[in-house]
A and B are shown apart, each in its own frame.
Chain A
């Protein structure tokens, strides 16, 4: 078990006290991070006391401490999951060799790009959500937002640690650049386009955490298999925190669906009581789910093949041994491919080139599970309408389906049909205006806005009516 230094200026379990050069580099970066948080985090709430979880260790039980904290005082630290000293590479061309403790020169650029792309999303989401607190549906949800925000900030620390430790001057420059790019900045935007949209209402936020953060989970999970051991151990611990973010989104959308279902079961029109109709929820689900699929990259990708072959990114739960061939050399993947004459044909491609598609398939199965969970609440309420996950070909802007039009059921259509019908499938400005009109601020402990059901339970065994945020 590694030793956790909680007294250090930067809490860590990476022996920072014994690495003065790295400690100085990180301590130079720390005030810049705090300055970024003060300017682009949820700044209007920086003086409030939030009941937050803070990571204090990496053990499987009791790794977190709950208490009231002002967000700028949150102890952002560097934690790597413990792992065996003699870890072996368990997939790709170097199967069975020792995992790397240092970056191999030949993979330096590719690894740096992977880490920077992942790291850039962490502060991006904080920036996207910085105004949301003003229209929170409850104190419970306000706390959840801030928990997600501070932990995304810690995930930035995790990636900056890797860059500063293993990538020299280049890494230090990249660490600076991650605080200089800003979500939605016309001149210096975030790397991935989906992280440049503002998230100004709570339906967007819950869809974001349900779908976009779930994409993050799968990207992190593939990096957690990496042959570069510090990256694998860093992302393993990030996944422990990320689980709460996904739960926030999954439960959040589910609570909105449930509340709408309750009102429908009572014979009420959700629009007349400030709730969100299921067809509007469906369009938001369509938008965020399809946007998140674009983050997986091309379904047929030589880059993905090389990352797998080199041992940089594995498949989801690769180390569990659920795959037949850890080298992925013998199998092919059957990919649906659109044609110019409006048809869809199948094409077999080498499995290694389909690694993004394999990861996406695991993600889609996970999303199918959460939508079915939401629908079970509707079924219990006797509501006939259901939320449906759109087909993976619908509304895609990356990969083999980009540039082609499909219905949410996956049927190819022409451009004219898309133009005529897409407002039935994706959020309109009227939808966004209506959802925004529902965003009433509720801050009385235990009370909830009328568009969302209370959660099943509170946080850390506290009651739902607990004062999760104390305003100054």
Chain B
């Protein structure tokens, strides 16, 4: 079982912007090349706190923080996850670094 994670924010703002559909579609794209979650697990996350920049999607331990994600961006994100594409830089760097760091601090468990 892999420890690589893709989290899609399901906080209030991101949900209003359609993160439920983004989750479903990204999960379907990932399942096409990784049906058994052997390469990455995709999960919902309650809120990253970068609400103004939603919809937010993170990759861990890659520590990639995608913001303002739309359904049109999902094939490129899936290709990055699959290793067939570069990080989608047009979606990174939009979230304040201190906000990004909070989520990495939570996931970087020393235990």
Measuring CB to CB, which residues of chain A are less than 8 angstroms from any residue of chain B? 60-61, 217, 243-244, 246-247, 250-251, 315, 320-325, 328, 331, 333, 351, 358, 362, 365-366, 368-370, 372-373, 376, 456-457
Contacts and interface: CB of A to CB of B under 8 A. Distances in A.
Query: For this complex, into which size category does the number of interface residues on chain B fall?
Result: 20 to 34
B6 to A, nearest CB: 11
Contact of A351 (B2, B3, B107, B111): B111
Contacts of A372: 49, 98-99, 102
B43 to A, nearest CB: 6
B29 interface: no
B102 A369 contact: yes
Interface in B24-54: 24, 41, 43, 46-49, 51-52
A320 B4 CA distance: 9
B58 to A, nearest CB: 12
Contacts of A351: 111
Interface string B1-17: 11101000011110010
B49 A369 contact: yes
Given A217-B46, A322-B109, A372-B99, 9 more contacts: A60-B20, A61-B21, A61-B24, A243-B10, A250-B47, A372-B49, A372-B102, A373-B49, A457-B16
Given A320-B43, A372-B49, A373-B51, A365 B111 contact: no
Given A325-B111, A333-B111, A372-B99, A365 B49 contact: no
**Most chain A C-beta atoms within 10 Å of own C-beta, residue among B16, B49, B99, B105:** B49
B98 to A, nearest CB: 7
Contacts of A331: 110-111
B50 to A, nearest CB: 9
Contacts of B46: 217, 243, 246, 366
B106 interface: yes
A370 B102 CA distance: 11
Nearest to A368: B102
B60 to A, nearest CB: 8
22 contacts: A61-B20, A61-B21, A61-B24, A244-B12, A247-B11, A320-B41, A321-B2, A322-B60, A323-B111, A324-B110, A328-B111, A365-B106, A369-B48, A369-B49, A369-B99, A369-B102, A372-B98, A372-B99, A373-B49, A376-B96, A456-B13, A456-B16
A396 B49 CA distance: 27
A320 B102 contact: no
Interface of B: 1-3, 5, 10-13, 16, 20-21, 23-24, 41, 43, 46-49, 51-52, 60, 96, 98-99, 102, 105-107, 109-111
Nearest to B21: A61
A422 to B, nearest CB: 29
Contacts of B47: 247, 250, 369
A457 B14 CA distance: 12
A377 to B, nearest CB: 10
Given A60-B20, A246-B46, A322 B107 contact: yes
A35 B13 CA distance: 37
Contacts of B10: 243
A351 B13 CA distance: 36
A323 B109 contact: yes
A230 to B, nearest CB: 22
Most buried by B among A244, A246, A331, A376: A376
A251 to B, nearest CB: 7
From B10, B43, B109, B110, name the one whose CB has the most chain A CB atoms within 10 angstroms: B109
Contacts of A368: 102
A427 to B, nearest CB: 26
A436 B77 CA distance: 50
B41 to A, nearest CB: 7
A324 B61 CA distance: 13
Nearest to B23: A60
B59 to A, nearest CB: 13
Residue among B3, B21, B111 with max Cβ neighbours from chain A (10 Å): B111
Contacts of B11: 243, 247
Contacts of A369: 47-49, 99, 102
B88 to A, nearest CB: 23
Nearest to B46: A243
Nearest to B105: A365
A368 B102 CA distance: 8
Contacts of B12: 243-244, 247, 251
